[in-house]
Amino acid sequence: MNKVDVVVLAAGKGTRMNSSLPKVLHKLAGRTLLQHVISTVNCVSDCRIIVITGHQAEAVEKFHAQRNCIFVRQSEQLGTAHAVAMSLPYIRDLSNVVILYGDVPLVSLSTIEKMIEAVKEGQMGLLTAEKHNPSGYGRIVSNEEGSIESIVEQSDATPNQLKITEVNTGVMAMNSSQLKNWVPQIRNSNKKNEYYLTDIIEIARLNGCFIKRIQPNSNIEVEGVNNREQLSRLERSYQKYLANEFMLAGNSIADPDRFDQRGKLKTGFDNYIDVNCIFEGEVQLGNNISIGPNCHIINSIIDDCVEIKANSIVDSSRIKSGAIVGPFARLRPGTLIGEGSSVGNFVEIKKTTVGHGSKVNHLTYLGDAKIGPRANIGAGAITCNYDGSKKHETTIGENVFVGSNTTLVAPIALSDNSFVAAGSTVTTSVAQGQLAVGRAQQRNVTGWKPPKNS
């Protein structure tokens, strides 16, 4: 039995979130709670993912439509065992089944693999955890030999059972035959008249199945989200974990409590990250990179020895080795900054290639442009790339000098070694080596008198 079927329970409303969004659509580290679960499970070979939806099922299914899942709706929420029962027609014969939860987002792949291994050994796997404060959790009831006998929900527990600190996480695994035989045996004879999946433990024991307790690598794996305060705490715990992974890989963070990774961060070593930096989407860092405080890096590639100064935004761009960006720079999608180039403060660049060794030092906008090597773009220069209907391209060659407060009206080309005088509006292309002067004629009026104050 190498096939694995994973059932993810994601039907609940999440009343305590006090939100119009279903709970599993709330985000942790930039991804929905359910995305975290699905992404981890997708790493399991020969795996079928069955997601049980209910509250706002259409919204949940639409958001995760490209995630390689089978969605099954639970029209009435009658308990966790009832939810799992909805999945039974989709469970393959001779498969190993793992049950996860859409609001417990961080169960690791290694923990899931341990659950599967227990099933392969002919056992049932149950993920448990020790909690200093077990309030709200079902308690693990063991016999004198320490074997698991049952799980008691808190609302049904006796005073002595409430003192138990080993708790049920809800995550369990068994083979498909067991699941299909045992789930229909569960009854709703409890204070809430719900079908508790936890009752399957006692059924398994009565059928002679040994229940193997499995512990997570860290309790962060089994933290669930029921309200916004829990979500916030889990966010900080997870970010601290990601920061530690980053540092263990050979990088430095000024303050791990002020680091945010909202996606995938691939990194080299000897990088330094200052406070309040956010990495979003898929970001790739080389080596020996310095990123100043309050920077936001989105879906970008940063090569070796780049310096990004404070308060800069880099979005869907590439910065090549040795370049300097910022402070207060904004690189918009489609930007390529060449080796050794400099992009300074209050510069905005969009869909533009800046050649190696070029300088765009301050107060400039470049859009839909190609800039050759060793060009110098002065302060206040802009490309007028939009005519109200279409975008047009500006081409600037090698060793071009563009003076301050220049307006380049696209489509236009400045050939190699050309020069544009400061304050010019340039509307026609400039040939190699030419000087372009596009200023209005100056007049000095003698005897002019300013208006008098009334």
Catalytic residue set: 362
Closest among 54, 52, 49, 65 to 22, alpha carbons compared: 54
Q: 340 — alpha (psi -120 to 50), left (phi > 0) or beta? A: left
Secondary structure in 3-state letters for the chain: CCCEEEEEEECCCCHHHCCCCCHHHCEECCEEHHHHHHHHHCCCCCEEEEEEECCCHHHHHHHCCCCCCEEEECCCCCCHHHHHHHHHHHCCCCCEEEEEECCCCCCCHHHHHHHHHHHHCCCEEEEEEECCCCCCCCEEEECCCCCEEEEECHHHCCCCHHHCCEEEEEEEEEEHHHHHHHHHHCCCCCCCCCCCHHHHHHHHHHCCCCEEEECCCCHHHHCCCCCHHHHHHHHHHHHHHHHHHHHHCCCEECCHHHEEEEEEEECCCCCEECCCEEEEEEEEECCCCEECCCCEEECCEECCCCEECCCCEEECCEECCCCEECCCCEECCCCEECCCCEEEECCEEECCEECCCCEEEECCEEECEEECCCCEECCCCEEECECCCCECCEEECCCCEECCCCEEECCEEECCCCEECCCCEECCCECCCCEECCCCCCCCCCCCCCCCCC
* One-letter amino acid for residue 306 of the chain: V
- The partner residues of 412 in beta bridges, in order of sequence, read 394
Residues 157, 54: Cα–Cα separation, whole Å: 28
Long-range contacts: 421-426, Cβ < 8 Å, 24+?
Answer: 422/378
